[in-house]
Structure 1
Amino acid sequence: MSTRPDTRISVVIAEDHLIYRQSVVRALERSRCIRVLAEASDGRAAWDAIRELKPDVAVLDYRMPLMDGTHVARLASFTSDIATRVLILSAFTESSSVYKAVEDGAAGFLNKEVEPSHLVDAVVACAAGNTVLPADFAPGLLREIRKRSHKPLVANVPFGLDCDR
């Protein structure tokens, strides 16, 4: 009898609100392509689970006790033996929050009001190496990038250049 390796996407979930965490676990476990390896209620426990289990994706709350999800994303992105991709879930969807998550290495960012099927799709996309950001986040994120870049939005045209030719 041969045993097939488990090819499902492995996931660690960290969320400090138990009821919401349980809902995320249920939504992901309904998918035949995802298996939840561990749950955590704070960022430090999430980081410990990521280091130990090395999941394909970590679904993390933006704000948690002991360590925020963005801090965990930063640690994961700068630790050479960790290939875990981080998907942030947050009730805070202002452009500065999205920017911080992406800057810290998150592969995706979703509003906590996401439909369960879209959450599953986002985990699959992150595991495949894609970036997940809802289209309605793009305008605010672009404004935030421009605001923080300290570069002029319009290129300087050299003096005397005739643009009509």
Structure 2
Amino acid sequence: MPLTVLLVDDEPLVRAGLRAVLEAQPDIEVTGEAADGAAVIPLVRRLRPDVVAMDVRMPLMDGIEATRALLRTVPDPPKILMITTFENDEYVYGALRAGADGFLLKRARPAEIVNAVRLVADGESLLFPAAVRQLAARYGTGYGTAAAREELRRAALTGREADVLRLMARGLSNAEIAVRLVVGTETVKSHVSAVLAKLGARDRTQAVIAAYESGFVSPG
């Protein structure tokens, strides 16, 4: 079965460019398009895409609001990949905090676009970890607060789970973490699953943001 993608952007040329790049791949199919976030929920319910590639800024309903609404109302929602012009955009960080799984720069090369869609669909690796660190440093409203630290403390991560979270925050994949910790990849997957469950995180991106905002790891 091909990996299915829904494109949401108010610029027709952007949608056309993304469609051309993605549909050139034999394992990716663009199943639908929309020009505003307000159309996302009915399309997702009808098309059941694996990934929604969505502009962060749109005139009626932006990507942040659409992300919140989608995750709140649709069971087993698709992965959400935000499309943005600037990687240091406060809107991007707001979308990631709302539950988006990663972001894609509009100036990205075709191979990077395809790779980003595959990565976010797989949930294997955080996209642009360095940029997420910068975003956390600039816009992380809960960074280092007592409440955020207490929330992480209540998660009661084991020592090995804490090690895994630190390496996730650096953008390492499961295979890279396995090499670093000298354990098997399946062991790392188990630790990652435990970290997500304890933090109440939807995916790796949400876990990493929690790590930064609690002060568990430093954006610097």
Same fold (TM over 0.5): yes
TM-score, structure 2 normalization? 0.61
Residue 145 of structure 1, CA deviation: 5.7
**Superposition map of 1:132-147 within 5 A:** 132-144=126-138, 146-147=140-141
The partner residue of 1:118 within 109, 112, 115 is 112
Per-residue deviation, residues 43-64 of structure 1 (Å, max 9, x unmatched): 1123321122121100000111
Letter in 2 for 1:94: N
Contiguous gaps of at least 5 residues in structure 1:
1-6, 156-165
Per-residue deviation, residues 89-144 of structure 1 (Å, max 9, x unmatched): 11132252232011111011121111111111111111112354214413312303
Further displaced range: 69-78 or 30-39 = 69-78
Once residues 65 and 41 of structure 1 are traced to their aligned partners in structure 2, the CA distance between those partners, rounded to angstroms, is 9
The partner residue of 2:65 within 60, 63, 71 is 71
The partner residue of 1:54 within 27, 31, 48 is 48
The RMSD of aligned alpha carbons is 2.1
For 2:38, the equivalent position in structure 1 comes to: 44
For 1:84, the equivalent position in structure 2 comes to: 78
Once residues 38 and 92 of structure 2 are traced to their aligned partners in structure 1, the CA distance between those partners, rounded to angstroms, is 21
Which is higher, the Rg of structure 1 or of structure 2?
1
Residue 24 of structure 1, CA deviation: 0.5
Further displaced range: 123-132 or 97-106 = 123-132
Further displaced range: 92-101 or 51-60 = 92-101
Structure that is richer in helix per residue: 2
| 1:27 to 2:24 alignment | no
TM-score, structure 1 normalization? 0.79
Letter in 1 for 2:138: E
Distance 1:44 1:146, change over 3 A: closer
- For the residue of structure 1 that corresponds to 2:13, the secondary structure is helix
Contiguous gaps of at least 5 residues in structure 2:
150-220
Distance 1:131 1:60, change over 3 A: farther
Kindly tell me the number of residue pairs found equivalent between the two proteins.
Answer: 147
Runs of 4+ deviating beyond 6 Å:
none
Once residues 68 and 124 of structure 2 are traced to their aligned partners in structure 1, the CA distance between those partners, rounded to angstroms, is 17
Structure that is richer in strand per residue: 1
